[in-house]
Structure formats: C-alpha cells, structure tokens
C-alpha cells in the first residue's frame, strides 16, 4: 500500500528481476535504498543481542585459534572483551522486534511474501565476516553503513570443501569470480547455492533479508505427521477361512487390505493438501506465536476504531498467504491456521496479505463494499493477527 520499491539498475524492473535473476543469478544494485531506510546503530543492535529471547551470535576469526562461534544473549562485558578487529555480531529476526526495520520489507513487495523469513542485522569490525559459505536460501544483502567487500564464486562446491570440525559451514577454499565493494544503500541479491564471502572494510553494518523454502525432507516430515494425525485405529484383520497350511503366508488379501487402509488417508492429490501446505508455509518459528487479544472486540469496537481514523497493523511476526481452490473457494492461511472464505472476499484477502499497515479509510471501504469483510477483520483482530496500533 505504501510501497517504496527498490531502485533497480536501469533496464531492470520487478518483472525483469523475477524473470531473469530471482532464484537464478546474483544482481548488484547500487544505491537501491536510501540511507534513511537504515535506522539501527551499533548500540541499539548490541542492546538487542543482550535480550534473552532474541537470537544472536558472535563470530570471531582468531589468528591462532581459528573461527570462534558464540551464541547470545550477551552482556556489556562480552562486548568490552572483543578484539580490535575480525569479529561480527549477528542478530536474527530484527523485523519482529523493531517496526522501523519491519518497514524495510515493504521495499521488497515484488517477491513472494510467504517466503520471507526475517531481517538479520550484522555489525562487523574491520575484517570481520562469517567466512566464505553457501546458503540454501535467497538473500538480499543491504549495506546499511560503512563498506563491505563481497566476493562471489560461481564454482560448485561440495561438503568435501568445508573446513572440518566447525559448527558453521565455512569453505576451506574459494575461487573469486566477482569482487564488489558495497557502500551504504547498495543491495546485493544472491540466489541459493552461490558461494559468497563478505568481509568488513572498516566497521560496517549489513541487513540481510532472508527467505525460507522447505526442502523435500522438511516437506515430507510435516506432511506425513499430518497424515498420521488423520489416521484412525482401523486394524488389519485376517480374511475368513485361512487354510492352516498357509498360516505363515502374508497373503495378497492382507497386502490389499493394508494398501486400502493407507489409501483412505490424505494424499498430495487430495483437496486437503493445499490447506496443509498453506498452513505449513505460514507457520511461525516457535518463539513467534501470536496470542489472542485479552478482551475481544465487538463489531462496534472495530467500527468505532476505524471511524476515528485509526489504522490497524499486521502483527510483526504474522505470516499470511492466500489461495483460490478450484473446487471450494478462497482460503486465507494465517500463522498456521486456515480460514475458509467466500470468493467475494478476494480483494480483502489480497489487501491483508500484501500490507503491513492498514489505513482506516481502506478498511472502511472494504467493510462497506464487501459482505463478510467486517467479520473477517474482527476475527483477525481478536486472534491477534491484526493489531490496533498503540496511540501516542
Ligand atoms: Mn550468507
């Protein structure tokens, strides 16, 4: 709604990016974001890394002891004891804690929203970095302050190329194909699988917008759990009249019966599959569960809020996606839950999934024009997915 798109290099727009670069090849975008978009300084980041609920790491490259990895929370003493150079502090999910960082995601409103994982912020002293490595996910690396040198390698690497005995996956060798120095406002897009190596050139800060994508093993793990949950206690029974002479034989009848019991369970071709996938991809990490409002709103409360020109906003951790099922209508997937909705709510669902901030006027128009929109909004407010912005 308040999209401030990334400034692409000339000749490239969102459609060209998605066609030619997204999930395919790296793209360096000079001056793609205004400096004002980056609001977190080193002290504020260090403060977050001291919070027990926030995931943070310190990576120190020590000339004698090699790579040191430590997990937060940290305290003032930890930071005071750091060497002069060659260390990096990384803090995950900063977008869930700071609204000004969540706002940065709006610059990327052209990539599939349900894939977005988090914004990680790293602060590095001169020479600091996490070593040459490969990620399984897409990432936009946004240079927020200072300069960072990014080296890319287009070679294929295997596990045999990793340094042994480390918790982090760091490549033991690296052949450089691209070598770029990024300054504030520069953005580097990397698809999955590209080896990269960032090192701070002086102290610097980098924001990484990371994506997620389940692999076959993860999909199977969750899907089969779903299948098991749908299973009942119907049991294999022996067919009538087994001859005593064949008592040890696993007969074709038993096999057929076992097959039939399993055939009755959901399959990836069933209608239930789409709903399972929608719930799966919108599930949050366990620390980001959303709790319902303490006191439920009535339709009157909602109308009064909007009539006073007060906006709603999506909970910073909420994950949403929608789908239109050929057989039976519209679905809103919301933080691992499914809402089955009439087709007429298509615009409402699109707006809710695409916007972080929901201005009162847009929501009033939605309620006015679309039967069922008020009830949907009310449900989402009471579930805690939409929040009434605190008034200051
Ligand atoms: Mn990386």
Which class would CATH give 14-211? Answer: mainly beta
pLDDT for res 4? 65
**Gap from CA of 181 to ligand 1 centroid (Å):** 16
Residue 36 has pLDDT above 80, yes or no: yes
**Gap from CA of 133 to ligand 1 centroid (Å):** 6
CATH fold of 286-388, please?
A: Malonyl-Coenzyme A Acyl Carrier Protein; domain 2 (3.40.366)
pLDDT for res 274? 92
User: Tokens in use for 300?
Assistant: 């009157």
Bridge-based pairing of strands 320-325 and 329-334 is: antiparallel
**Gap from CA of 179 to ligand 1 centroid (Å):** 15
pLDDT for res 297? 97
* Residue 123 host element (H or E): strand 116-124
User: Tokens in use for 101?
Assistant: 């960082």
pLDDT for res 390? 66
Express each pLDDT in 72-114 by its tens digit: 999 999 999 999 999 999 999 999 999 999 999 999 999 998 9
Of 1-5, 39-43, 146-150, 319-323, which gets the smallest average pLDDT?
A: 1-5
CA 42, CA 53: separation in Å to the nearest integer? 19
**Gap from CA of 97 to ligand 1 centroid (Å):** 22
Domains of the chain: which residue ranges? 14-211, 216-239+247-266, 286-388
CA 381, CA 385: separation in Å to the nearest integer? 6
This prediction's pTM: 0.91
Residue 179 has pLDDT above 60, yes or no: yes
């Amino acid at each position: 709604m308040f999209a401030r798109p990334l400034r692409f290099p000339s000749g490239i727009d969102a459609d060209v990016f998605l066609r030619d670069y997204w999930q395919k090849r790296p793209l360096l975008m000079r001056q793609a974001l205004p400096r004002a978009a980056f609001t977190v300084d080193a002290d504020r980041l260090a403060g977050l890394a001291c919070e027990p609920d926030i995931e943070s790491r310190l990576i120190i490259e020590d000339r004698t002891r090699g790579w040191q990895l430590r997990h937060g929370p940290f305290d003032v003493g930890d930071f005071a004891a750091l060497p002069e150079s060659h260390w990096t502090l990384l803090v995950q999910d900063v977008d869930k804690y700071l609204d000004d960082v969540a706002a940065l995601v709006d610059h990327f409103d052209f990539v599939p929203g349900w894939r977005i994982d988090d914004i990680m912020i790293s602060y590095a002293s001169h020479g600091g970095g996490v070593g040459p490595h490969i990620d399984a996910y897409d990432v936009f690396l946004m240079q927020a302050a200072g300069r960072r040198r990014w080296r890319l390698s287009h070679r294929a690497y295997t596990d045999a190329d990793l340094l042994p005995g480390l918790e982090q996956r760091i490549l033991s060798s690296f052949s450089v194909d691209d070598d770029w120095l990024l300054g504030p406002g520069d953005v580097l897009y990397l698809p999955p699988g590209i080896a990269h190596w960032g090192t701070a050139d002086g102290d610097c800060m980098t924001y990484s917008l990371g994506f997620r994508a389940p692999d076959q093993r993860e999909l199977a793990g969750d899907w089969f759990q779903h299948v098991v949950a749908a299973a009942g206690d119907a049991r294999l029974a022996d067919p009538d009249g087994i001859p005593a002479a064949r008592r040890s034989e696993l007969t074709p009848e038993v096999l057929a019966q076992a097959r039939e019991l399993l055939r009755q369970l959901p399959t990836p071709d069933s209608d239930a599959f789409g709903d399972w996938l929608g719930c799966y991809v919108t599930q949050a990490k366990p620390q980001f569960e959303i709790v319902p409002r303490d006191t439920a709103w009535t339709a009157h409360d909602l109308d009064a809020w909007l009539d006073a020109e007060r906006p709603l906003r999506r909970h910073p951790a909420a994950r949403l996606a929608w789908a239109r099922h050929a057989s039976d209508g519209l679905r809103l997937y919301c933080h691992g839950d499914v809402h089955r909705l009439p087709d007429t709510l298509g615009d409402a669902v699109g707006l809710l999934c695409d916007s972080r901030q929901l201005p009162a006027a847009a929501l009033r128009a939605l309620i006015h024009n679309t039967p069922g929109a008020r009830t949907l909004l009310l449900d989402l407010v009471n579930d805690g997915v939409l929040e009434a912005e605190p008034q200051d």
